[in-house]
Amino acid sequence: MNKALFFRKCPNAKDYQFRANKFPAFGQELNYNIFKTIVLSKDKYDLVINGFLYDNKDVMKHTDNLTMDDSDTVNCLLFTCDKKSGYLVYPAGYDYCRYVAYWEDK
């Protein structure tokens, strides 16, 4: 099972990295499934990772499919520009990146 450290309401990737490095106990380690991978241009990817709290059209399109199951596994989106790393997003019913986790291809 895949696990990742999710943080709630991070404004951007820099804040996520700060929290993950300094306060990992405040995050939630959750099992996840990638429902869909969203590959973006570098410019669009930068907009997403610098504005997690803004409404996101890709999140809005898939919110109904991005759920948590009975075993506490979240279905999430993966935002990436290189398919090697990116951010997992679990919106928890909202239209923005409410929970985010850093992801790297292993």
For residue range 21-78, list pLDDT tens digits in order. 999 999 999 999 999 999 999 999 999 999 999 999 999 999 999 999 988 899 999 9
pTM of the model: 0.94
Task: Specify the pLDDT at position 31.
Answer: 96
CA 8 to CA 19: how far, in whole Å? 10
Q: Show me where the domains of the chain are located.
A: 3-104
18-36 pLDDT, tens digit each: 999 999 999 999 999 999 9
Backbone angles phi, psi at 3, to 5 degrees: -125, 150
- Which whole number is the average pLDDT over 3-12? 97
